[in-house]
A and B are shown apart, each in its own frame.
Chain A
Amino acid sequence: MQLRRLTRIALSALAATALAGGVSAQTITLDMPSWQVTEPGTGDWWRALIAEFEEQNPGVTIDFQHQPLPAYNQTMVTRFAAGNPPDILHLPAANFMVYAQEGWLSSLDERLDALGIMDRWTPVQSTCEYEGTAMCVVILGYGDVLGWNDAAFERAGLSGPPTTSEELIEFARVLTVDLTGNGTIDQYGFVFPTVTHPGVEATATAFLFEYGPDAHWVNESLDLNRDAIRHAWTQMRRLIEDGSVPLGLDTNGKRQFWVEGRAAMMLEGPWIQGNINRAGPEIQPHLRVAQLPFSGEVRGGASNVLAIPSGISADRQELAWRFIELFMSPEWQAAYSTVAGQPPARAGVLDESFLADNPNMREYVAAAGVGRDYIPRGSEAFYTRFRDLIIEATLSAVVQGQDMDATLNELQSQIRRLR
């Protein structure tokens, strides 16, 4: 009798173990690295989206791991090269082309066509195309905005933000002041990075786009657009020569200067909202955004994208697509603005009352609508190297005051060497 009872217990235990094993075998964990895990707002939005996905897909979890941005691309490239890609690929848009060229990404054409919403998606979705095929979905399409401090403007007797680059230079001169009278500048009129940093290229491109509707660094044959570049460098150099710009700052320093009220204006993407949100209570109400004060086009483009690696199983690809589909839904696109504070890639998901209560969001949405891609056509495959050359040349011509023609010749010869 006791033996039979023991046998029954043992069988029950075995069955329970098998069942548990069966359940755990059905649990699928999708791997999704990102540099935005710890970002306030955006990170919260990702976690909420993931929680919703996991609720809609029982037995599927997403391992949302943090990978720092400076080494992010290297980590992803190494993983792909080693045959161990993540299941959901989150990428800075500037790095997308390398992955597409290597055949590491799945085509999304059929899936996107079936969804039928691409006419409402951001125009910079074209960034995701490789040889006519959509290989990713743009998460954030943006245009740069001008951050300005209305208290500084009021003190200087200026009624509002500049509307042309000439005005910007003039206002910056007026706004550069020694407030305490101790001989040092306490407030600069304008701030941009002046050390080796991607922000140098961003600022120069913003000035360059003012030159004309088709102005970019190079044409598709990689010939420099010398007149447009000279215009951009001249305007930036004038700001430096006027003493309106603090020297020696990188992009983080630039943001810090503006947030602390030590600089009255700066150019930035919509992520400027994160800086405004963490400003001190005495200065936060004075930090405002406006459209870029340039008559031409607005520097912008795709910030980051989602893609599905081709090297994972069909089941996992399907689950990754379900996640992207959820991300593209109107609810989660609206939440991208309400939670992450960024303009949505999908048009028409924000209601008028939300925009009325959030004037900055209105500016971000407007800028995103007119933003032009900062990556020149023809340079996508080696954009990182191309950008580094632009940064070096801009620092030489603008900050170090080197001869512009000589710098342009050197830049052209370096660009010709790109492989």
Chain B
Amino acid sequence: MATIPAIPFRRQRLRSAVRSRLYAFTLLAPAVVAVLLVITYPLIMAGQMSLYDVRVFRIAQGFTGEPSLRNYEDMFTNPAFWRSLRVTLAYVALGTLGSFIVGLCTALLLNQPFRGRFLARILVVLPWPIPGVVAATTFMWMFNSSFGVVNYLLLQLGIISRPVAWFTDSTPALLAVVAATIWKGYPFFTITLLAGMQSIPRELYEAARVDGASAPKQFWHITVPALRSVMGVAMVISTLWLFRVFDIIYVMTGGGPSRATETLAIQIYREAFQYFEMGYASAVGMVTLVLSIVATIIYLRVSSRSFY
């Protein structure tokens, strides 16, 4: 019986492996190039820009002068930056938490069998495809202090004795913006959590029922742990989304009153496109990027433990 020589076979296997890797890299190459062009290059540009005094007026001249941390120094010593940072953290926390709670409640509801569930599912996710500008304009009118439906309802219910000037005081303005954000953002949680709930094996609930576990106990000991990773990913995506929300806030308040709703995204826009300070805006952008990365790491660490 003839034996196949070992070396040529190994060489052949190696050649085949190289060929298949090459093939894979060739297929991946367009995506890699696109990512480099669309994401990495602007990121590097923004990082570089944050080290220079770049103004739109002279952008054609490129970066002039020596690179320095002047923009970062200005930013960290500027009370407006710290205020925007506080507003951003409050906005992201309230928006994410609010969207999560509403999304979880609606997902639990839609996970139950009832007549008209299909229609209810459609209605619940309707805010998701509505453009942010449209949602913001609608909420702006709803919260209008003179003829808004929110004040009307609160007055009729006796919760307030005189109309609330939603957009002239700091806290009401932030709450109004957060309300619009929650309305726009909760369907995302509904969809992802509902999908997660439907993948939980029914046997777990049946076994729990046999053992006499109440509905809240089933929720806390089966549903929540089983959804942990889904919740984590959804939270990350929502947090990243809220860090960069511009349209809702800009349309409703423009960042006011007195910067009470000026998030870092709004500040970046104002610095870059109203005051044309591209260098400073890039520095704020880099800080926002770092914050987003930190938030992502924390969420993923917390939610990485597997239930199954």
In B242-258, the 8 Å CB interface with A consists of: 253-258
B192 interface residue, CB < 8 Å from A?
Answer: no
Specify which chain A residues have a CB less than 8 angstroms from the CB of B166 in the assembled complex: 248
Interface residues of A in 244-268 (CB under 8 A from B): 246-249
Taking a contact as CB atoms closer than 8 A, the residue among B253, B258, B270, B275 that contacts A396 in the complex is B258
Residues on A with beta carbons closer than 8 Å to the beta carbon of B145 = 246-248
Known A-B contacts A194-B168, A248-B144, A400-B170; A74 and B257 likewise in contact (beta carbons under 8 Å): no
Binding site for B on A (CB under 8 A): 74, 77-78, 80-83, 98, 102, 194-197, 246-249, 382, 384-385, 388, 391-393, 395-396, 399-400, 410, 413-414, 417, 419
Q: What separation, in Å, do the CA atoms of A400 and B79 have in the docked complex?
A: 19
Q: When the two chains form the complex, which single residue of B59, B146, B168 contacts A400, counting CB atoms closer than 8 Å? A: B168
In the assembly, what is the distance between CA of A221 and CA of B59, in Å?
30
B interface residues with partner A (beta carbon < 8 Å): 56-60, 74, 78-80, 144-146, 163, 165-170, 253-259, 270, 273-277
Of B60, B168, B273, which contacts A248 at CB under 8 A? B168
- A-B pairs under 8 A by CB, number: 82
Are B57 and A77 within 8 A (Cβ)?
Answer: yes
Chain B residues near A197: list those with CB within 8 A: 254
Residues of B close to A410: CB separation below 8 A: 79
A391 to B257, CA, bound (A): 9
CB distance from B69 to the nearest CB of A (A): 16
- CB of B168 within 8 A of CB of A81, answer no
Q: How long is the Cα–Cα vector from A102 to B56 in the complex, in angstroms?
A: 11
In the complex formed, the residue of B with least CB distance to A83 is B60
Give chain B residues whose Cβ lies under 8 Å from the Cβ of A81. Answer: 56-60
In the complex, chain B residues whose CB is within 8 Å of the CB of A77: 56-57, 276
Of the candidates A80, A196, A419, the one whose C-beta lies within 8 Å of that of B256 is: A196
Q: How far is the CA of A195 from the CA of B60 in the complex (A)?
A: 37
Are the CB atoms of B275 and A196 closer together than 8 Å? no
What are 8 A-B residue pairs whose CB atoms fall within 8 Å in the complex? Answer: A78-B56, A80-B57, A247-B168, A248-B166, A395-B256, A395-B258, A400-B258, A414-B80
CB distance from B134 to the nearest CB of A (A): 17
Q: Which residue, B56, B168, B169, B275, has most C-beta atoms of chain A within 10 A? A: B168
**Dominant SS at the B interface?**
loop
A146 to B274, CA, bound (A): 30
Inside 8 A of B254's CB, which chain A residues have their CB?
A: 195-197
B263 to chain A, nearest CB (A): 14
* A248 adjacent to B165 (CB under 8 Å): yes
| B270 contact set on A, CB distance < 8 A | 388
Residue numbers in B under 8 Å from A395 (CB-CB): 168, 256-258
Residues of A within 8 A of B146 (CB): 246, 248-249
- Please indicate which of the listed interface residues B59, B146, B170, B253 has the most CB atoms of chain A within 10 Å of its own CB: B146
Kindly state the separation between the CA atoms of A399 and B145 in the bound complex, as whole angstroms.
14
State in angstroms the CA–CA spacing of A74 and B59 once bound together: 14
Residue of B78, B79, B258, B270 most packed against chain A (CB within 10 A): B258
- In the assembly, what is the distance between CA of A399 and CA of B172, in Å? 13
From B78, B167, B168, contact of A417 by CB (8 A): B78
Residues of A within 8 A of B256 (CB): 195-196, 391-392, 395
Shortest Cβ distance from residue A77 to the other chain B in the assembled complex, whole angstroms: 6
User: B residues within 8 A CB of A388?
Assistant: 270, 274
Residues in A neighbouring B255, C-beta threshold 8 A: 196
Which chain A residues lie closer than 8 Å to B276 at the CB level?
A: 77, 98
Residues of chain A contacted by B80 (CB below 8 angstroms) = 414
Given A81-B60, A247-B168: A400 in contact with B257 (beta carbons within 8 A):
yes
Q: Which of A78, A83, A195 contacts B168 (CB 8 A)?
A: A195
